[in-house]
Amino acid sequence: MGRRETRGLWELRTALEVEAVRLALEAHDGRLPPEVHRAAARLVAACRRPRPSWRAVSDLHTALHTALVDASGSDRIRAAYAVLATELRLFVLQLRPAWSAERMASHHAHLLEEIERDGADALRRHLRDGFESVSAATG
């Protein structure tokens, strides 16, 4: 995936995920539902295993971000996000050279707390960090 494609994916992903999280927080009194917290815990636990499988990490990363989108309750946002699934997996694969599993764990360990404290802008910062890491690694 080239720089232009990565930027376009990040822009669309950010638009969908940030709005989904805004809707989710609005619908759940400023909190994210338990299934989102469970998805985050599974990702962090997998990343902290000795020699974690990057495929498992990628699958759990996808599950977490999909849970964030699903929490919105918006069928249209969920459908649009599902179209991005393959490209998002490629994006996570591009993170591997730049990020260790521990960095993936730490990047997500406090994400939900930050979202519940700071709102959807916390997710925007999170997504930008991932995009900038991939951009730096791929030149």
User: What pLDDT is recorded for position 97?
Assistant: 67
Residues 86-127: tens digit of each pLDDT: 788 877 777 776 778 888 898 898 999 999 999 999 999 999
Asked whether the predicted pLDDT for residue 1 surpasses 70, the reply is no
Asked whether the predicted pLDDT for residue 71 surpasses 90, the reply is yes
In the chain, the amino acid numbered 68 is L
Spatial distance between the Cα atoms of 48 and 103, rounded to a whole number of angstroms: 10
Spatial distance between the Cα atoms of 15 and 99, rounded to a whole number of angstroms: 24
Asked whether the predicted pLDDT for residue 10 surpasses 70, the reply is yes
Q: Which superfamily is assigned to 3-138 in CATH?
A: GntR ligand-binding domain-like (1.20.120.530)
Spatial distance between the Cα atoms of 126 and 6, rounded to a whole number of angstroms: 16
User: What pLDDT is recorded for position 103?
Assistant: 87
Backbone dihedral angles phi then psi of residue 29, each to the nearest 5 degrees: 55, 45
Residues 35-56: tens digit of each pLDDT: 999 999 999 999 999 999 988 9
